[in-house]
Structure 1
Amino acid sequence: MNGEILQVRDVPSDEMRRLRARAAARGVSLSAYLRELIHDDVSRPAMTEVLERIASRSSVEATDEDIRASIEDDQR
């Protein structure tokens, strides 16, 4: 695996203990566990990206009556 080296300083001892315990519970090294956490985090879009996508969508114009009619149609 080719990649960058990441060093994190000043992690509280209690948090390190919990991270090591979680890694051990999964049967992986601390490095592998942290890589997985990083991968999972960067695989999801950032909240700003999600909000930008939502804002760029065209709005849907529907009245209460339209919504009720649609629900009634689905129930038939």
Structure 2
Amino acid sequence: MSLLFGALFYLVIAMVFLRKLLKKFFPDIVVAITIAAVVLGTNLAYYSSREGTMSHLYSFFLFTVFIL
């Protein structure tokens, strides 16, 4: 159970970093649509809610940190 909370934590922090990065270049509506598309249109929601031990979510978090 704690692994799933950790995965959700990393998902939220990754979305915050992605939002911070996108706000430098795009208006707020584009940023909101992009973040919704990333969460709902990819497997990140699945990996953060069901497969918290897989490395996909943590890799996404690290990529957003490195890009920022």
TM-score, structure 2 as length reference: 0.32
Which structure has the higher relative contact order (CA within 8 Å, separation 6+)? 2
From the CA coordinates, give the structure whose radius of gyration is larger: 1
TM-score, structure 1 as length reference: 0.30
The structure with the greater share of residues assigned to helix is: 2
